[in-house]
Structure 1
Amino acid sequence: MRVLTALLASLCLSMPALADQAGKFDYYVLSLSWTPNWCADEGDARQDDRCRTGARIGWGLHGLWPQYEKGWPSWCRTPERDPTRAETAAMGRFMGSSGLAWHQWQKHGRCSGLSAQDYFLTSARALGKVKLPEIFGKLDKPVTLPAKVIEDAFLEANPAMTRDMVTVTCQKRAIHEVRVCLTRDLTPRRCGADVIRDCTLPDARMDPVR
């Protein structure tokens, strides 16, 4: 009996973990990147078209992420087909590149339980639910400011949102992203405890649009 128990335990340890199930999640996180900062940190080195002078791109759609109340699914298996080149190219208008659209589908979209087309449409709809503050597009030089200023501007532009529905992240001492938590039907809601992690830097860099 002990030999059988040990064998079963060994088999269980050697089995791969089950992939996250598509469609099994609690809410969405809409992630918005401040493009000028991304350009300074990564995009310029890639000669990304979003970073050219005159592009005038501020907040850009990074992704729409299915989320658990704690943690998140990723790289799910789904019976849905992958998007076509035309579909990722069309989504590139919102995300900045077809490559990013493809990556977001692979890592997050497959977990939504939606078809690729419906996931991209839902991502665009989610972006349309959030009014982007216009003031940051008026910057004419780099500034340093606490993340709370960014959050306050989003709350002022979106009166239906409360502070626990929006979080601001930093990277390399610069404003990185604004993340807005939404229900599955795209209504603003409270973020899970692991998402509410605002940047606490007293002075994070914010570059002007180009």
Structure 2
Amino acid sequence: MKLVAAARLLLAALTLWPALAFAQQKGEPGRFDHYVLSLSWSPSYCEAMGPRAEPAQCATARPFAFVVHGLWPQYQRGWPESCQNPAPYVPEPVLRSMLDLMPSRRLVLHEWRKHGTCAGLDPTAYFDKVRRAYQAVTIPEAFHRLDDYTMVSPGEVEAAFRAANPGLAPDMIAVDCDRRRLTEVRICMNRQLGFTSCDEVDRRACRTSRVVMPPLREGAGQR
């Protein structure tokens, strides 16, 4: 019986390995199928990270609701990452210009190195595309600001985004969560930044029935 169990484990590992290797391959700049625009619910990040959170994002003087986590080149299955090493330099004016959407210098540089280098664009063009992708999505009015902890279902959040964005179908969006908090909304976009289907992203969506959205920090004001 032990030999049978070991054989099954080996078979499972061999079956899974190609998918994992494909997902994590370095990739070639400009060779991908679509983008994922990841919008992070900033209060969840701040609460989960606690004292390790980025001060620029989580200090009470800097309130944020949904922020851009990243614009990620994707394959239909898996994704490329870190396509240029070392990554091209991000000009300081470009970096500073993104801090209203991506409220951390560290986040901007990390996203460029890991994902932006796979887009086949220079830093200026890539971050311009990030901004245009964000502007192409309407954040539902209900999520511009929350003043108290709010319980939601992932389906309710998805429905709100779909209602605010005509043409956004169920297989083009995924709501993500940790064990108790809503963490991100991920929207799939083609190279022209129109909405597109993405079955793999949709399949990885949050399956928890109810999650909490922490509020913006008290006294922080509105972005």
TM-score between the two structures when normalised by the length of structure 1: 0.85
Kept in 2, the 8 Å contact 1:27–1:184? The answer is: yes
Query: What's the Cα RMSD here?
Result: 2.1
What is the SS of the residue equivalent to 2:98?
Answer: helix
Counterpart in 2 of 1:81?
88
Shift of 1:82: 2.0
Q: Does 1:145 align with 2:152?
A: yes
Higher mean alpha-carbon deviation, 144-153 vs 115-124, is at 144-153
Segment of structure 1 superposing worse, 26-35 or 91-100: 91-100
Which consecutive unaligned segments of at least 5 residues does structure 1 have? 1-16
- Give yes or no for contact 1:36–1:208 (8 Å, CA) kept in 2: yes
The correspondence for 1:33, drawn from 26, 37, 40, is: 40
SS of equivalent to 1:94:
coil
1:188 aligns with: 195
Aligned residue for 1:92, secondary structure, equals coil
Deviations along 1:143-202, one digit per CA (max 9) or x if unpaired, are: 222111110110111122111111000013110100000001100010132443221111
Is the alpha carbon distance of 1:52 and 1:18 closer, same or farther for their aligned partners in structure 2, counting shifts above 3 Å? closer
Structure 2: runs of 5+ lacking an equivalent: 1-23, 218-223
Shift, 1:49, TM fit: 2.8
What CA deviation, in whole Å up to 9, does each residue of 1:36-69 have, x standing for no partner? 1111011553361322335331100000000001
Q: State the partner residue of 2:77.
A: 70
- In the alignment, the residues of structure 1 paired with residue 206 and residue 45 of structure 2 have an alpha-carbon distance, to the nearest angstrom, of 16
Shift of 1:141: 1.1
Q: Which residue of 2 aligns with 1:8?
A: none
| Residue of structure 1 equivalent to 2:13 | none
Whether the 8 Å contact between 2:57 and 2:103 is mirrored in structure 1 is yes
In structure 2, the residue matched to 1:60 is 67
Q: Which residue number in structure 1 is paired with residue 8 of structure 2?
A: none
1:100-145, CA deviations, whole angstroms, 9 ceiling, x for partnerless residues?
A: 1110000000000000110000000000000001112343210222
| 1: CA distance, partners of 2:130 / 2:97 | 12
What amino acid maps onto 2:117 in structure 1? R
Counterparts of 2:26 and 2:209 in 1: how far apart (Å)?
Answer: 40
The count of residues paired between Structure 1 and Structure 2 equals 194
Q: Aligned letter for 1:60?
A: V
Partner of 1:156: 163
1:1-210 pair list within 5 angstroms: 19-42=26-49, 44-46=51-53, 48-53=55-60, 55-77=62-84, 81-210=88-217
- In structure 1, give the amino acid aligned to 2:43: P
User: Percent sequence identity over matched residues?
Assistant: 37
Q: Is the 8 A contact 2:54 2:104 kept in 1?
A: no
| Higher gyration radius (CA) | 1
Partner of 1:7: none
What TM-score, normalized by structure 2, do the two folds share? 0.80
Alpha-carbon distance change, 20 to 154 in structure 1, aligned in 2, over 3 angstroms: same
